[in-house]
Every structure is written in structure tokens, then in C-alpha cells.
């Protein structure tokens, strides 16, 4: 999937292709570390359904397993999904007073089946005395068969930030229910020039819709790390990319399609600047220094304390003010894209 060329200071984002197996293996490996994307606690009441998203357009990489003998270049001819061991309580065999509820899900109508990553929750269809709907059972297999007493229930299916809910009535025979979860994977990384930005120095927030739409919106996901995968409903989103904690911010509109993994690379034009207050060029940095980085117009961008503060700044012109032992020192400096360097402020002018 190709990222749209939109946003302030944004450059090209490159959608890359990845095979189906990569997403699912990585999805399982990050599930425990990404609790903000995968809810492990049942909601107090059955959640509402997810609105139907528009049909995606453009090429992307399918997350579904291969359907024929064709192979992917560079990979073995046959790809086998690694087994996933799920500890589930034993279920009694169905009797004349019990029924079996068989559940499955697809990415959408006429799209491949989802074979992992789903959390199924079955609730009573009537609230208890406190007004909450009782959780009857939770399953994490792709196609569970759940033995239940005949009656009415509410089934909730969740995959990342995508969910669906449906009332179900079970009787003596097996009841089969298939859900549609239009989930797409979004994986984001950053770079400066041709150099990747290290993990830990850049974070992303994901918002629904375009950055140019009117109105404030809460982010769907925050503090997303480089290389993390977020599962969202198919549709248009915009990313806010923060490189460092100062002013290197890039906004980008992107498109995510159901059943696809969309790779996005966000390019920043910035550099890492280390500040030093010295008595002479190349001298030892003075401790207990207070720093202010400002624009030429005098707007404060960031303030620091210490001998060697590091600040990541967008390319451009700046001024720095250093305060030490009641004295104030000031110096202009420029930031060039991708050129990390030290900026020395002299206490003595030659």
C-alpha cells in the first residue's frame, strides 16, 4: 500500500510488500507487549458493532495464507503456519439439553478466513441485577466450538481495534455463525535521509480519517513504536510522527485495506544537536547550565538542564540561550538535515 503524499514537512512514505506469514508471526510475538492495541479484559457490557468501512483501493499485501501452489520468491514453496497453543478449559460433550455454537470470521465478504488473533466472548443476553451482561465464555482460537445451554446469547469478536457483536440463539442442533472483521495491519518506521531512526527515538499516533478534516479527534493508538503492528478497520487514517521530543513532527495520510499489511516509512528532515557551554572552543562543558532553544523570532522550542543536553530539531535556524552562575550566554546555530553535531556556546568571545 502506498502512503499518500500529504502533511506538513512530510516526504515520501513507501509501502512495502510482506508475505502473509510475517504479519501473523509478528502479531503473536507483539501481542503481550502491545496491551494498548489488544484488550485482554472483557468489557462490562457487549460492545457496539464497528461501522462498515469503505471498500479499499490500490495494491497491498494479502495477510491470508496462500490458496494455491504458487510460491513467493525467496520463500519455501510451502508455508506452514506455526502452531499456537491455547490453554482452554475442557468442554463437556453436547447432550440433548445442550447445543454447540460454532464460530468463525473472515476479513470481509468473499475474503479469506481469519486463522488467528481473534478474541471471542460470549455473554448472557440479559443483564444481571447490577445491569452488567455476564461473561459466559472467552475463546482465543480461530474457530471455536462452544457448548452452551439452549437460549439467547450475545457474541463479541475482537481483533486488535476491530470488533463486531451479534445476538445469537442456540437450540438443540449446532449453530454456525460467521463474522466479518475488516481488519488491516499498519506497520510504521521512520528515517532521516537514508538512515532509519532507531527504535525508542520515534513514536507514532494513529487517528481516524484525514488530517485535513475539520474537528478534533482522539487518537486510536498512541506511543506506537517503530515496527509495531496496529490492527485497525480498513479505511483512511493519518499518522502523527514524533522524532524526539522537540519540533520534529510529521503528519501523513495513509490508507489501510482489510486483509492487508500496509508498511509506511515516514521521512523526517532533522538532526540530533548536542549543546555545550565552554570557556573556549573544544573546552570542557560547564555543569549546572540551564538551556533554552528558541526560534529567530524568540519562540521557545525546548528547555533543558545539564552539561550535555541532546535535542532533535527540524532543519532550520535557531538560537540557544545558556544560563550559568547568574550569567547569560547566547549563540545562533543552524540545523542541517541528517547532520548530527555539537553546538558550543562560548563564555568568552575571542
Q: What is the pLDDT of residues 97-134, one digit of tens each?
A: 789 999 999 999 999 999 999 999 999 999 999 999 99
In a domain, 34, yes or no: no
As for how many domains the chain has, the answer is 1
Give the position of cell 454456525: 176
Confidence at residue 172, expressed as pLDDT on a 0 to 100 scale: 78
In a domain, 325, yes or no: yes
In a domain, 80, yes or no: no
Better-scored residue on pLDDT, 173 or 256: 256
Confidence at residue 87, expressed as pLDDT on a 0 to 100 scale: 43
Residue 76, pLDDT > 60, answer no
Residue 4, pLDDT > 70, answer no
Better-scored residue on pLDDT, 94 or 294: 294
The secondary structure element, H or E, covering residue 26 is helix 20-30
Residue 320, pLDDT > 70, answer yes
- Does pTM surpass 0.85? no
Q: Which residue range(s) make up the domain with 274?
A: 270-346
Confidence at residue 97, expressed as pLDDT on a 0 to 100 scale: 79
Could you tell me the end-to-end alpha-carbon distance of the chain, in angstroms, rounded to an integer?
56
Query: pLDDT, tens digit, for every residue of 205-239?
Result: 999 999 999 888 999 999 999 999 999 999 999 99
Burial of 250-289, coded b for 16+ CB within 10 Å and e otherwise, reads bbbbbbbbbbbbbbbbbbbbbbbbebbbbeeeeeebbeeb
In a domain, 333, yes or no: yes
Residue 45, pLDDT > 70, answer no
In a domain, 287, yes or no: yes
Q: Which residues contact 190 (CB under 8 A, 6 or more apart)?
A: 196, 197, 202, 204, 226, 241, 243, 265, 266, 267, 268
Confidence at residue 349, expressed as pLDDT on a 0 to 100 scale: 64
Sign of CA dihedral 133, 136, 138, 144: negative
Computed over every residue of the chain, the mean pLDDT equals: 80
pLDDT band, residue 31 (cuts 50/70/90): very low
Residue 345, pLDDT > 60, answer yes
As a whole number of angstroms, the distance between CA 222 and CA 243 comes to 14
Half-sphere exposure of 346 (CA within 13 A, CB side): 6
In a domain, 335, yes or no: yes
In a domain, 73, yes or no: no
Confidence at residue 173, expressed as pLDDT on a 0 to 100 scale: 85
In a domain, 276, yes or no: yes
Residue 331, pLDDT > 70, answer yes
Confidence at residue 350, expressed as pLDDT on a 0 to 100 scale: 53
Sign of CA dihedral 8, 9, 11, 17: negative
Ranges 61-75, 131-145, 240-254: which has the least confidence? 61-75
Instruction: For residue 297, give the CATH number of its domain.
Output: 2.60.40.1120
Residue 91, pLDDT > 90, answer no
Confidence at residue 88, expressed as pLDDT on a 0 to 100 scale: 46
Strands 221-225 vs 202-208: parallel, antiparallel or unpaired: antiparallel
Ranges 48-52, 283-287, 290-294: which has the least confidence? 48-52
Residue 52, pLDDT > 80, answer no
As a whole number of angstroms, the distance between CA 332 and CA 294 comes to 9
Q: Which residues contact 278 (CB under 8 A, 6 or more apart)?
A: 284, 285, 286, 344, 345, 346, 347
Q: What is the mean pLDDT of residues 172-178?
A: 91
As a whole number of angstroms, the distance between CA 177 and CA 162 comes to 18
Beta bridge partners of 202: 243
As a whole number of angstroms, the distance between CA 293 and CA 332 comes to 10
As a whole number of angstroms, the distance between CA 260 and CA 251 comes to 22
Better-scored residue on pLDDT, 335 or 215: 335
At 340, is the secondary structure helix, strand, or coil?
Answer: coil
Amino acid at each position: 500500500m502506498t502512503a499518500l503524499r500529504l502533511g506538513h514537512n512530510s516526504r515520501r512514505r513507501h509501502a512495502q510488500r510482506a508475505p502473509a506469514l510475517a504479519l501473523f508471526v509478528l502479531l503473536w510475538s507483539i501481542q503481550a507487549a502491545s496491551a494498548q492495541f489488544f484488550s485482554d479484559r472483557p468489557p462490562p457490557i457487549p460492545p457496539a458493532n464497528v461501522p462498515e468501512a469503505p471498500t479499499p483501493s490500490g495494491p497491498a499485501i494479502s495477510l491470508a495464507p496462500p490458496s494455491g501452489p504458487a510460491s513467493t520468491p525467496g520463500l519455501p514453496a510451502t508455508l506452514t503456519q506455526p502452531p499456537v497453543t491455547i490453554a482452554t478449559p475442557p468442554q463437556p460433550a453436547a447432550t440433548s439439553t445442550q447445543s454447540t455454537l460454532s464460530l468463525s470470521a473472515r476479513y470481509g465478504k468473499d475474503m479469506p478466513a481469519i486463522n488467528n488473533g481473534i478474541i471471542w466472548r460470549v455473554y448472557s443476553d440479559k443483564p444481571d441485577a447490577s445491569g452488567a451482561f455476564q461473561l459466559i465464555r472467552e475463546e482465543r482460537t480461530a474457530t471455536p466450538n462452544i457448548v452452551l445451554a439452549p437460549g439467547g446469547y450475545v457474541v463479541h469478536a475482537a481483533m486488535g481495534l476491530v470488533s463486531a457483536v451479534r445476538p445469537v440463539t442456540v437450540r438443540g442442533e449446532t449453530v454456525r455463525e460467521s463474522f466479518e472483521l475488516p481488519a488491516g495491519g499498519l506497520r510504521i518506521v521512520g528515517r532521516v535521509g537514508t538512515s532509519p531512526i532507531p527504535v525508542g527515538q520515534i513514536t507514532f499516533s494513529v487517528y481516524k480519517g484525514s488530517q485535513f478534516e475539520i474537528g478534533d479527534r482522539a487518537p486510536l493508538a498512541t506511543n506506537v513504536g517503530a515496527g509495531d503492528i496496529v490492527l485497525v478497520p480498513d479505511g483512511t487514517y493519518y499518522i502523527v510522527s514524533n522524532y524526539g521530543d522537540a519540533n520534529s513532527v510529521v503528519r501523513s495520510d495513509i490508507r489501510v485495506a482489510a486483509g492487508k499489511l500496509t508498511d509506511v516509512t515516514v521521512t523526517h528532515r532533522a538532526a540530533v544537536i548536542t549543546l555545550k557551554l565552554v570557556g573556549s572552543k573544544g573546552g570542557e562543558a560547564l555543569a549546572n547550565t540551564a538551556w533554552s532553544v528558541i526560534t529567530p523570532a524568540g519562540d521557545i522550542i525546548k528547555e533543558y538542564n545539564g552539561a550535555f543536553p541532546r535535542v532533535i530539531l527540524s532543519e532550520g535556524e535557531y538560537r540557544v540561550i545558556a544560563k550559568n552562575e547568574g550569567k547569560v550566554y547566547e549563540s545562533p546555530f543552524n540545523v542541517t538535515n541528517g547532520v548530527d553535531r555539537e553546538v558550543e556556546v562560548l563564555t568568552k568571545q575571542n
